[in-house]
Amino acid sequence: MAASTSTLRYPGYMHNDLVGLVASLVPTPRLHFLQTAFTPITAPGASTAARAHRQASLIDVMKSLLDSSNALCSPTGAGKYISALNIIEGPVDPAQLHKSLARLREKRSLSFIEWGPATLQVALSRGSPIARSRAAPVSGLMLANNTNVRSVFEVACQQFDKLFRDGLSGPKPGAYLQNYIDADCLGDNLEGLTSARETVRDLISEYEAAARPDYPEYISQP
């Protein structure tokens, strides 16, 4: 999304390059699957209530970013934040920003991992001079690294297992797998598919371990 690169296109004091943007969110190479949330999302011809939401204050925007209904993916179950970055676009008073962060800390709106710094980073960005008349005065994008993203991979594994099992022993053996069997890249067997499944399973275990306090010991194991 364009909002994720706003700090690159309109540079400020922080997060003005892609490496710096990602480095603050990815503590280890394998834990690099980020979730996004955006607010507000309304059409130009929206209702009065929707237009009122477009005029929301900074604290309203930051609270909305934590609402699962504004997330752009659908993980399930409880998780812990490994890192989080809010990119706020529009005219914002820094004093208002500090008050908003203090209110979020008081309400303990975010649950962070125990083995890393529990901080919600905020990057302020200027709005686009072209789309300023069409955009909300203040909008926000959250880039978050949360352990509950493992549920997305668990669903993918379950769907793979069902297709793979039915493809081998279902009413029409090979119905789902014939195209893969015929592919030259897999040769005469399906080890490439089963190997990919194990890689995803290892990634799920990694995110499960990241939610525990002993994760540093987990990654130090050979």
CB 56 within 8 A of CB 64: yes
pLDDT value for 11: 58
How far apart, in whole angstroms, are the C-alpha atoms of residue 129 and residue 39?
19
CB 22 within 8 A of CB 13: no
How far apart, in whole angstroms, are the C-alpha atoms of residue 176 and residue 121?
45
pLDDT value for 206: 95
Strands 120-125 and 81-89 turn out to be: parallel
Q: What is the pLDDT of residues 86-144, one digit of tens each?
A: 888 878 888 888 888 888 887 777 889 999 887 788 888 776 666 555 556 788 889 99
pLDDT value for 171: 60
pLDDT value for 24: 83
pLDDT value for 172: 61
How far apart, in whole angstroms, are the C-alpha atoms of residue 85 and residue 68?
16
pLDDT value for 15: 58
Low-confidence ranges of the chain (pLDDT < 70): 1-4, 7-17, 42-55, 127-136, 167-175, 184-189
pLDDT value for 34: 92
